[in-house]
Amino acid sequence: MTAPQPSPRINPDRLWQSLMDLAAIGATELGGVRRLALTDLDRQGRDLVRAWLHHAGCRILVDAIGNLFAIRPGAREADPVGIGSHIDTQPSGGKFDGNYGVLAGLEVIRALNDAAITTDRPIAVAVWTNEEGSRFTPVMMGSGVYAGAFSLEHCLARTDLEGVSVAQALAQIGYAGSDTAPRFAAFFEPHIEQGPILEAEHITIGAVEGALGQRWFDLELVGQDAHAGPTPLAMRRDALVGAAQVITQVRRIAAQYPHNARGTVGQLLVSPNSRNVIPGRVRLTIDLRNAQADTLAAMVDDIRACISRIAADERLEAHLTEVVHFEPCHFDPHWVSRIEALARAAGQSVRRIASGAGHDAVYVGKTCPAAMIFVPCEGGISHNEIENAEPGHLAAGAQVLLEAVLEAAGRTATPH
């Protein structure tokens, strides 16, 4: 019985440097990254990552929604083992959200190349389009189209606040592809936790069991512009007063419901937004989340009833449009267990954890067995320019990823 071959080692400094080099594209003054989906900065980031992966011996594919796939050949033609995440960021995002998952995949490929290891199955690194859902909704757009959660046509027609469509933006950055996306034998997404648990418990690896369900809405409240001086209160149809009541109800719902309930109003657009005009039109976003599908549905029913009541009380029109809806998901139990065991075998502290954030693995997991590897982030803060993570944690997560990918892809004998 030959001794098992030692696994190649991740190069922590090379992984860290790739993160810093990518973070320079869209770098902000506070040390964050602003690289909105399908902007020229996103193009620059894509071009850089694509060049690195091509140089590492991968064949590059780009599909019709701009998802990029870099495929490292295996000993045989077969569905690849996928690794991936996103490189688009929030407007005031950080260096690690999404970027870590893509660059950990690059580092795995580089480490396998260094060790001259050929895996049985090919390995593919995926860069998913518009995971953040900030410039364009829906969130997790590229992986959602890949998994059939949204039609390509629906997503290509979506527009940003300036009226630019996804199709136009893809064409502008040269990533309107025509390749057929690969199907995966399994898919792994490393990611920072973006919450406080791992850091608070001094744990390095999170074996992610699943993610909260999400339901996102656009709400437009329509009243009447009027003069802030002569208009008596009884005559007012103030859309912003209505919006303020909706916002406090979203908070009440998040506080009141069980099962990790979350409620956020992140965007508020006031028209005409002039200090001495009663706002006649307000658009706001509503983001509701929960670990249980029925509880999430009850939260939605609750806010719908509140909006109807508030609109009636304030004599407003209310137009509510659902833009995102996915149920709570569970990742593949086998790979959750293997990630836990591989982390322990590597001498890392590990715990099972749920994700409050949505990730591309949520949709990709509808097409193949998928799992996520979390590492801590400083103060549990993300979607913030101060987002930070420790090189040692990032490398530990990438090493567990390498072990899981080797297990999933199989390895042929290393040439001497």
Residues engaged in binding Mn ion (CB under 5 A): 97-98
Should residue 189 be labelled a site residue for ligand HGY when binding is judged by CB under 6 A?
Answer: no
139 binds ligand HGY (CB under 6 A): yes
Q: Give the nearest distance from C-beta 303 to ligand HGY in angstroms.
A: 18
CA atoms within a 13 Å half-sphere pointing along the CA-CB vector of 350: 24
Question: Could you tell me whether strands 213-222 and 268-271 are parallel, antiparallel, or unpaired per DSSP bridges?
Answer: unpaired
In whole angstroms, the minimum distance from the beta carbon of 356 to ligand HGY comes to 7
Query: CB within 8 A of 416, min separation 6: which ones?
Result: none
74 vs 133, beta carbon nearer ligand HGY: 133
Length of the chain in terms of residues written? 416
CB 328: neighbour CB atoms within 10 A? 20
- Near ligand HGY in 311-370, by CB under 6 A: 357-358
How far is it, in rounded angstroms, from Cα 23 to Cα 41?
Answer: 11
Residue nearer to Mn ion on the CB measure, 241 or 372: 372
314 binds, among Mn ion, ligand HGY, none (CB under 5 to 8 A by kind): none
HSE-CB of 159 using CA atoms within 13 angstroms: 4
Q: Give 100 or 335: the residue with its C-beta nearer to Mn ion.
A: 100
- The residue sitting closest to Mn ion, measured at its beta carbon, is 98
Q: How far apart are CA 325 and CA 310, in angstroms?
A: 24
Please choose which of Mn ion, ligand HGY, none residue 98 contacts, taking the beta carbon within 5 to 8 angstroms, the exact cut-off set by kind: Mn ion
Using the contact rule CB under 6 A, the part of the chain among 128-136, 233-241, 259-267, 303-311 near ligand HGY is 128-136
Token duo for residue 319: 């137009």
Closer residue to ligand HGY, CB minimum distance, 53 or 357 = 357
Q: Say if residues 203 and 351 touch (Cβ distance below 8 Å).
A: yes
Angle between helices 40-55 and 166-173 (to 10 degrees): 50
Picked from ligand HGY, Mn ion, none, the partner binding residue 81 (CB below 5 to 8 A depending on kind) is none
| Residue 358, contacted partner among ligand HGY, Mn ion, none, CB below 5-8 A by kind | ligand HGY
DSSP letters spanning 144-181: HHHTTSS-HHHHHT-B-TT--BHHHHHHHHT----PPP
Binding interface with ligand HGY (CB under 6 A): 131-133, 139, 357-358
